[in-house]
Amino acid sequence: MPTHLIVLAAGEGARMLSDGPKVLHEIAGAPILAHVLASAKALDGERVLVVGRSGDAVSKEALKIDERIRIVEQSEQRGTAHAVTMAAPELEGRGGDTLVLLGDTPFIRPETLTALSKARADGADIAFLGFEASDPGRYGRIVAEGASLLRIVEWKDADDAVRATTLCNAGLVLAETGTLLRLANAAGRDNASGEHYLTDIADLGRAEDLDVRVLTCTEEEALGINTCADLARAEAVFQARARQAALAGGVTLRSPDTVYFAFDTHVQRDVVVEPNVVFGPGVVIESGARIRAFSHLEGCHIGRSAVVGPHARLRPGTNLGEDAHIGNFVEVKKAEIGNGVQVKHLSYVGDASIGRDTNVGAGTITCNYDGVSKHRTEIGDKAFIGSNTMLVAPVTVGDEAMTASGSVITRDVPGGDLAIARGRQKNMAGFAPKLLARLRAIKGASKSD
């Protein structure tokens, strides 16, 4: 039987003090919502996202993450049980189980969802997720006897004895689809907030002699994002996990706490990452590569044994071949860099392809933008681009061709040719001291005025 998914993302997130939806704030370069959906990626049923009144941006991002997802709106904020009932038209008659996830809880592990499913298979009618909190604060409390869940009490409705407990509600619940929808629809609003709480289905289920259980996870896994401080904490949690995973996978991090990974960074073993490296989304690094200090990579593929940096920037669309070297203060964008290519100093390579074993001298620029459109530069194999060459695209430099230092190349250079495109040098004998004297005189006169 399938397991369906409801993600609750209708909250306004007022405590973020932001004009944007809370679930679109980013952790490791990806929206909180992307992390939530990733945790439930293996579920095989329908996927429903409940958004609020300003849900257009959330819906658009959700469909980019998972085009299968269905969007429903909770136009009135009347509580979590009410939000679940908004998903009912998409799930009624579908059978199977349904899992409810909160759109602001990004670190639920797939293994935890598997444990909830196992509890259902073992006889639980409703399975909630809880956690022991070091500082329970205003979390709802779970009252339980062993694995048997007696009730869930929201903080506003709890007495001092319940508030003193530390087993808290993580906001997740798994139940048979019909049972979940029926009990959510029956949830009342006789509470301090006047809302329909999804947690009430525990009491409602027990009143029907249903088996209601609680499973627990770590506090870190249950972390919810309500403030910018929570977001910063979540970023730290993600980075700590990502660094540990990289180290465990055979990646050398010279200074782990200074390396920042993205949501989808993929680094193979035997890669060395030096201090103060930042990975944006979409980076793949093959075995044996070295990413040197203070480099920033995004949307790029780094081939085996390639070297990047220090102080390099690789932008989306960059593909480095094996043994390619991108050096200090070099920026590369939307470029195919062949095996063994050397671009080591102070250059910009954008909208280009460079063939194998080509050397690009310091200060080279592919002039790719004419103010309206982008144009490509094509450089062949074993070419030599002299320092301070301006390649005015569209332009092609053939195999084993050369450009002289300081050239402005505006026409194609056939293979094997040497291109020289610079003004003729003129030396004026003995003029330098005279010129300096004249300039100093002018400067002195301006000061006296």
Catalytic residue list: 345
Amino acid at 207: A
Residue type, position 309, single letter:
G
Check residue 59 and report its DSSP letter.
H
Indicate the pairing of strand 300-302 with strand 284-285.
parallel
Q: Kindly list the distances between the CA atom of residue 34 and the CA atoms of 31, 45, 64, in Å, as whole numbers in the listed order.
A: 5, 18, 10
Question: For 114-130, b where at least 16 C-beta lie within 10 A, e where not — what string?
Answer: ebbbebbeeebbbbbbb
d(CA 32, CA 22): 8
For the chain, the residue count is 449
Q: Residues 32, 24: contact at Cβ < 8 Å?
A: yes
Distance of CA 42 to the CA centre of its chain: 20
Q: Are 198 and 186 in contact (CB under 8 A)?
A: no
H/E element, 90: helix 88-91
First to last CA, the chain: 92
Burial class (CB in 10 A: 0-12, 13-18, 19+), 62: buried
Residues paired with 369 in a beta bridge: 374
SS3 call for 418: strand
The β-bridge relationship of strands 141-145 and 148-153 is antiparallel
Q: Which two tokens stand for residue 16?
A: 């973020």
For residue 261, CA distances in Å to 126, 238, 244, 276 come to 37, 9, 11, 11
Residue 264: both structure tokens together? 């989808």
Residue whose entry in the numeric block shows the structure tokens 């939806």 = 21
d(CA 31, CA 57): 12
Rg over CA atoms, the chain: 30
Neighbours of 75 (CB within 10 A): 11
Q: Partners of 319 in the beta sheet?
A: 301, 336
Angstrom distance (rounded) from CA 369 to CA 407: 18
158 contacts 141 by C-beta, under 8 angstroms: yes
